[in-house]
Structure 1
């Protein structure tokens, strides 16, 4: 019995003296490497997938034709001109809303049409709608030459509209122009004679008798820098130099304007029913 007890004690001691094993730990770099692999895979997936999505969007068919909105479109804009602007813009665009080059080309189309004095932006408001934001030109007068009557805006820019002589709209005519007409739509005449005539249009714009003024005649401009005004009854009103450009011996523009206003108040006619009126001196001379 004693021997058996000694054997059991010895066996227990041997078991307790045996070396213990501990679980192995992963190296510190392994989690970092795993994250890098995941991130790399995601980047590769994006690099492959996103261009494919963009390509699909660029080649996708629109659910409806592109609609062009000309912001603040004036009522006077001719229908054929509006259609031409819309077609040019649509032709410049693709179906992709990410097509920046197409929008730049569309802005060039709007600028070159001549009816805008400034195109601020062409933008995509929706996949099937484009908005043009800009400042419209304001038709002001017709410059007359041997080829007809040519529409200009308040800044003297040539607009894309011309008419046979005597067939244009009821606007102020500018006659006797010596400088050649610009060859590019949107350009202005060389020299300052058109600007001088338009300053007269601005001066008369609020007058009650404005409709009785038919034309500004520049036939003497090249000779001495003076101009005349023609009434709708063919009275020649000798004005002199352009407003603000008067000589020391010439009365100012507002005094000349007052003389015309007085003639209108007395007779109902800005030309007082005369063939010629000379406004350059202190006294209005009728001939």
Structure 2
């Protein structure tokens, strides 16, 4: 009958393994042992992250070939041409990239420097291949016709970039015969006291119920007499006179001129009353038709 094997008969390696295991078990029950196990677990977690994070990063950082650019809160006046133009500008910095933070920052910088925006609040990734732009477009006040063609300005007289267009149903007054040509670069102020006077008038009447009847503001008389002339869509000429705050002696003031046009509009539905000649509203006491 075979004899039963005892611990004393086991080989030396067995005693070393069981001894080490017993020591670990015993140590884990002590405060120092628990700390050792905790530190070991943290170290193992860090090693796992170091191994897996680069793999995940390589998956996330795949270049996006087709990027969809969405503008948040597009104003009513903005035509499709300007939206498409700005979307294409953003795409030059986003298409074929990983849409990482530096890529989004590059698009943000380009849009802000384009001259079309008062502010670009945020350019953020909102989908696997979608980027949303939260920005405030500079609103055009009027278009100006000079010897180079048509250009737009904002309420401060800054030249707006080429390609700025408005929706077809938005009325835009045209300023004609400015003394000076447009500035060399967008966002620069268009020079001329005549243009500043027209901007001052337009800023006061832009929301009048009859503004869509004002086709042009003609500056051709300004150099000689300081007068601005409103041209209606019926071809009538309404002599407005001086810029607001610069009225001559005995000339009607701003509020009086607006009240007169309001009254003409209420009476006939037209500020020119279908008169094809000239209407002078500069006299403080009477409206003169010629």
Q: Is the 8 A contact 1:107 1:121 kept in 2?
A: yes
Segments ≥4 residues shifted beyond 6 Å: 23-31
Select the residue among 276, 279, 288 that pairs with 1:277: 279
- The residue that corresponds to 2:183 in the other structure is 182
Q: Which runs of 5+ in 1 are unaligned?
A: 1-22, 164-168
1:124-273 to structure 2, matched below 5 A, reads 124-157=125-158, 158-161=160-163, 171-190=172-191, 193-221=194-222, 226-247=227-248, 249-266=250-267, 269-272=270-273, 273=275
| 2-structure distance, mates of 1:222, 1:121 | 45
2-side partners of 1:53 and 1:118: how far apart? Answer: 35
Q: Deviations over 1:233-264 (max 9, x none)?
A: 44433322222443564321111122233444
Change (3 A) 1:218 1:160: same
CA contact (8 A) 1:85 1:109 kept: no
- 8 Å CA contact retained: 1:124, 1:130: yes
The root-mean-square deviation of aligned C-alpha atoms, in Å, is 3.7
Q: Deviations over 1:68-113 (max 9, x none)?
A: 211123465444443332233233225535x111111122333345
**Aligned-partner Cα distance in 2 for 1:57–1:121:** 21
User: SS of the counterpart of 1:126?
Assistant: coil
1:110 to 2:111 alignment: yes
Inter-CA distance 253–41: structure 2 relative to 1 (3 Å threshold): same
CA distance in 1, matches of 2:105, 2:278: 54
Q: How far apart are the structure 1 equivalents of 2:181 and 2:208? A: 31
State the match for 2:57 in structure 1. Answer: 54
Q: Which has the larger radius of gyration?
A: 1
Distance 1:68 1:162 in 2: 18
CA distance in 2: counterparts of 1:148 and 1:39, whole angstroms: 70
Counterparts of 1:47 and 1:248, CA distance in 2: 83
Aligned to 1:89: 90
- 2: CA distance between counterparts of 1:211 and 1:32? 80
Following TM superposition, by how much is the alpha carbon of 1:52 offset from its aligned partner in structure 2, in angstroms? 4.5
Provide TM-score, normalisation by structure 1.
Answer: 0.70
Secondary structure at the aligned position of 1:160 is classed as: coil
SS where residue 125 of structure 2 aligns?
Answer: strand
Shifted more, 213-222 versus 259-268: the winner is: 259-268
Match of 1:73, SS state, is coil
- The CA distance in 2 between the partners of 1:254 and 1:260, in whole Å, is 10
Rounded Cα–Cα distance in structure 2 between residues aligned with 1:35 and 1:191 = 77
The aligned length equals 257
| CA distance 1:180–1:47, shift in 2 (3 Å) | farther
**CA separation in 1, counterparts of 2:85 and 2:264?**
47
Q: Partner residue of 1:101?
A: 102
2-side partners of 1:255 and 1:207: how far apart?
Answer: 14
